[in-house]
């Protein structure tokens, strides 16, 4: 019997870039949540070898897969999965601002932890996530969070009871890949001076209206440089905002994927269908996001 994990799409509800750090990373503040749409990862006893990739976006992966790097990092810690067959169903677009590769690596770490229960409480898992990339720690936690630093400082948001509410949403990608490095280069952020601008909320968000107000006030600092590189992003965002029931729309991460949050699930489904009719070459899905508002 194999071990399976979902690698859910990461969505940045807001994102501030506070500056360029001396270690080459950028100092960030971001309110992060996760969507129901996901890559699927499985580790099962079988013929070992390279990571086997399937799914609609399998052909978009170029060069070494981050999962292979994650396997190397695990081996260095004495966690060897070489006797396992690893399969990745790639359902999320690549270089899309949804943290797909980071979510895949995080899911592999969670599966390795499940296969080694004697080390489940070992602090090494968070350290390994940090080594693999800025988005991997929050994807490893797989729950809404305030993210700071280079992505390594996480502040958990309390879900409602018995579980978090869900936000009806639509994700739309114009099927262009946009490398994170290009967007940060276009941003040309100044050196980080150690001061925080408090882009993330310092008090709990008590309602969806609080969330929408926060998103409109803070925005995403990477949206402007991403649009300069790929002007179609503005078209995607405007198309979402024009659909009935859309309360707020923004770009996620470094783009180009944009998302809209809707009042009702049926409005999100209708909007996704309408967008696919008007722009049949876009990748468009109706989904749900974990709510970040406190109960």
Closest CA to 186 of 216, 226, 218, 148: 226
* Angle, vertex CA 26, rays to CA 24 and CA 31, nearest 5: 155
Question: What is the per-residue DSSP string for 206-247?
Answer: -SHHHHHHHHHHH-BTTHHHHHHH-THHHHHHHHHHTSTTEE
β-strand pairing of 145-149 with 153-156: antiparallel
Gap between the Cα atoms of 34 and 183, Å rounded: 22
26-45 and 52-54 strand pairing: unpaired
Concatenate the DSSP letters of all residues of 58-112 into one string: GGG--SS-HHHHHHHHHHHTT---TTEEEEEE--SPSSSSS-HHHHHHHHHHHHH
With b for 16 or more beta-carbon neighbours within 10 A and e for fewer, the 124-153 pattern comes to ebbebbbebbbbbbbbbbbbbbbbbbbbbe
Q: Which residues are catalytic?
A: 10, 135
Coil, helix or strand for 281?
coil
């Amino acid at each position: 019997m194999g071990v399976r994990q979902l690698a859910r799409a990461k969505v940045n509800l807001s994102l501030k870039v506070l500056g360029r750090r001396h270690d080459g990373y950028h100092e960030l503040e971001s309110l992060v949540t996760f969507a129901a749409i996901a890559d699927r990862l499985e580790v099962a006893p079988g013929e070992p070898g390279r990571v086997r990739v399937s799914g609609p976006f399998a052909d978009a992966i170029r060069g070494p897969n981050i999962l292979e790097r994650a396997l190397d990092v695990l081996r260095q810690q004495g966690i060897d999965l070489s006797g396992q067959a690893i399969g990745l169903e790639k359902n999320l677009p690549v270089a899309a601002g949804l943290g797909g590769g980071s979510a895949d690596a995080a899911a592999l770490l969670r599966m390795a932890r499940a296969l080694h229960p004697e080390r489940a409480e070992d602090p090494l898992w968070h350290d390994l996530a940090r080594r693999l990339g800025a988005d991997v720690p929050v994807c490893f936690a797989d729950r809404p969070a305030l993210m700071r630093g280079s992505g390594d400082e996480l502040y958990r948001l309390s879900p409602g009871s018995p579980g978090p509410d869900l936000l009806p949403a639509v994700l739309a990608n114009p099927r262009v890949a946009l490398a994170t490095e290009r967007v940060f280069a276009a941003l040309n952020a100044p050196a980080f001076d150690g001061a925080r601008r408090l882009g993330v909320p310092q008090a709990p968000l008590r309602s969806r209206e609080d969330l929408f107000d926060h998103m409109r006030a803070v925005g995403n600092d990477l949206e402007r440089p991403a649009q300069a590189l790929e002007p179609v992003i503005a078209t995607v965002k405007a198309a979402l905002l024009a659909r009935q029931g859309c309360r707020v729309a923004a770009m996620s991460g470094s783009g180009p994927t944009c998302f809209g949050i809707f009042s009702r699930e049926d409005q999100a489904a209708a909007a996704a269908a309408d967008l696919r009719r008007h722009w049949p070459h876009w990748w468009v899905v109706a989904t749900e996001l974990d709510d970040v508002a406190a109960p």
